[in-house]
Amino acid sequence: MSSSHLSRKVVSAPGKVLLAGGYLVLDRKHTGLVFGLDARIHVQVQPVPTSSGVALSEIIVRSPQFKDAVWEYGYRLADHDGGCEVTQLRVSATSPLNQNPFVETALSYALTYISTLRNGTLEPVSITIFADNDYYSQPTPLDGATRTTRFVDFGVPLQEAHKTGLGSSAALVTAFTAALLVHYLSESAFSLSSYKGKRLLHNLAQASHCAAQGKVGSGFDVASAVFGTCLYRRFSPSLLESHGEPGSSGFATTLQSLVEDSSSKWDTKIIKDRVNFPKGVRLIMCDVDCGSKTPGMVKKVLSWRKEKPEEANRVWSALQESNEALATELADLANTESKDYAPLTQCIQSIRSLIRDMSRLSGVPIEPASQTKLLDACSNVPGVIGGVVPGAGGFDAVALLIEDDAKVIARLGDVLDGWNIQGQEGGGDGMDMGRVNVLGVREELEGIRVEDPSVYPDM
């Protein structure tokens, strides 16, 4: 391994699918069943060489799979314990200031926390972000040569890429934060191999991800990015409402206290030992090449619940029972190694029926008519156990549980070949999904991990 590889650090975090518990997971009374996926966001950090006597306070971030995806930042420690302030710089005098709030916020929060544990200046670094191909819809079918490319060139600016709904922002913030911690801190101060290290990362990534997306969300996606597949009960929303902003007086000490949490403020529950996945079954995703605006949908559902609490709580309570039944059935199948999937199908059908009730009552397209048609068609394929629109629903990728057999995927491909929702009679929601593709992802139990830098391009 070359010396450049030794100086590089690479960390990856998995995508996610909230198989059961969409919207319910926003309430601490309820839980979500979230599966990690083997599609990952990878973040590489390496030092920037400087001339002798030259001191730089600049960090360059690149995402080479997208056009013009370069962000440069200056950073400095603010007065009055204000933490690390980050300022975006122009790549060139003629280029627009293309902002990335997730990168910028994660950078500021991570450097602030690191500065509380280290004396002296933080050396400049170059950061490269790689996304496994299934995070974004492919504009055209991949040919044989392109399929073998680990990180395909999507050929468009990042803001024009269609996400498939695998949790790219949470995986990015988590991997980005972890890579900086691993790079700047000694192993005695921070280690991803320990539960303590993962817990510190979870708390810091939750704080920065929440700030970057406007204080909206339950945090299940960050939890699964750190810990992998789990049952998740959210933290109290008030926990992240009053720690201030980077640069404000006392922000650094407040953030450190929040992250290290010596007073048990973090009341979230992340349970791994009650989640199991049966042999002979796999989870797959079907990309509908459209995508949804999750925060807007969440706000509308919460507004409905506030306006009609009795109606909403009836649906949520019934959904919680169905979701728990699904988790129990998966665990039972794993323990008994039974091949009778009929009860599992019934659990999924019950969840879908209640989700459609929530869609109708709230006026939010959680399972839109076009997605109903798609799921019904997939569910009729021999070997498909059932499927849902996961998480917040809408027009992101759908999740299917299938028998783990290549023939089942081939049959699904035959059904989806040429499928176009706009051409489906009675779609009812006016959406053109374009092509529907079976993504190459499947369930994965593992969360955040350090990778071997030698297998990544040296940027």
Q: What are the backbone angles phi and psi of residue 399, rounded to the nearest 5°? A: -110, 135
The answer to whether residue 432 scores a pLDDT higher than 60 is: no
Neighbours of 46 (CB within 10 A): 19
The answer to whether residue 435 scores a pLDDT higher than 90 is no
Query: Given phi > 0 = left and psi -120 to 50 = alpha, else beta, which region is 223?
Result: alpha
Amino acid at 200: L
239-250 b/e with 16+ CB inside 10 Å = b?
bbeebeebbbee
Confidence of residue 381 (pLDDT cuts 50, 70, 90): very high
CA distances from 127 to 10, 87, 318, 336 (A): 10, 16, 46, 46
Q: Which residue in 452, 386, 438 sits closest to 134, CA to CA?
A: 438
Neighbours of 446 (CB within 10 A): 13
**Rounded average pLDDT over 396-414:** 93
Radius of gyration of the chain (CA): 22
The predicted structure's pLDDT at residue 214: 81
Cα–Cα distances in angstroms (integers) from residue 299 to residues 22, 215, 217, 256, in the given order: 13, 12, 10, 30
**CATH architecture label of 281-444:** 2-Layer Sandwich (3.30)
Amino acid at 244: G
Decide if pLDDT at 431 tops 80. Answer: no
Measured between its terminal Cα atoms, the distance across the chain in Å is: 16
Cβ neighbours of 390 (radius 10 Å): 25
Task: Judge whether 3-272 and 281-444 match in fold.
Answer: no
Question: What is the DSSP annotation of 319-357?
Answer: HHHHHHHHHHHHHHHHHH-----HHHHHHHHHHHHHHHH
Q: How many CA atoms lie within 13 A of 146 on its CB side?
A: 12
Highest mean pLDDT pick, 131-140, 353-362, 388-397? 353-362
> Of 377, 380, 393, nearest to 345 (Cα)?
380
Sign of torsion, CA 251 255 258 262? Answer: negative
**Position 144 pLDDT exceeds 60:** no
Instruction: Check: CB of residue 18 under 8 Å from CB of residue 390.
Output: yes
Q: What is the pLDDT of residues 336-370, one digit of tens each?
A: 999 999 999 999 999 999 999 999 999 999 999 98
Average pLDDT along the chain: 88
Q: How far apart are CA 59 and CA 87, in angstroms?
A: 10
Cα 357–chain centre separation: 27
Is the model's pLDDT at 3 over the cut of 50? no
User: Among candidates 53, 51, 69, which has minimal Cα distance to 61?
Assistant: 69
Assigned token pair, 252:
């650094």
User: Measured on CA atoms in the order 421, 394, 15, 9, is the torsion positive or negative?
Assistant: positive
Distance between CA atoms of residues 398 and 283, nearest Å:
10
Q: Which CATH number fits domain 3-272: 1.10.287.990, 3.30.230.10, 3.40.220.10, 3.10.20.340?
A: 3.30.230.10
The structure tokens 């299917």 sit at 400
Q: Torsion angle of alpha carbons 35, 355, 397, 36, nearest 10°?
A: -10
| Dist CA 404 CA 341 (whole Å) | 12
**Burial code of 319-350, b = ≥16 C-beta within 10 A, e = fewer?**
bbebbbbbbebbeebbeeeeeebeebbebbeb
Please name every residue paired with 284 in a beta bridge, in sequence order, or none if there are none.
400
The domain spans of the chain are: 3-272, 281-444
Q: Supply 135's token pair.
A: 């995070």
CB atoms within 10 A of CB 138: 20
Beta bridge partners of 271: 231
Lowest mean pLDDT among 357-366, 388-397, 439-448: 388-397
Q: Which residue's structure tokens are 């650090």?
A: 9
Distance of CA 201 to the CA centre of its chain: 15
Bigger pLDDT: 299 vs 45: 45
5 has a pLDDT exceeding 50: no
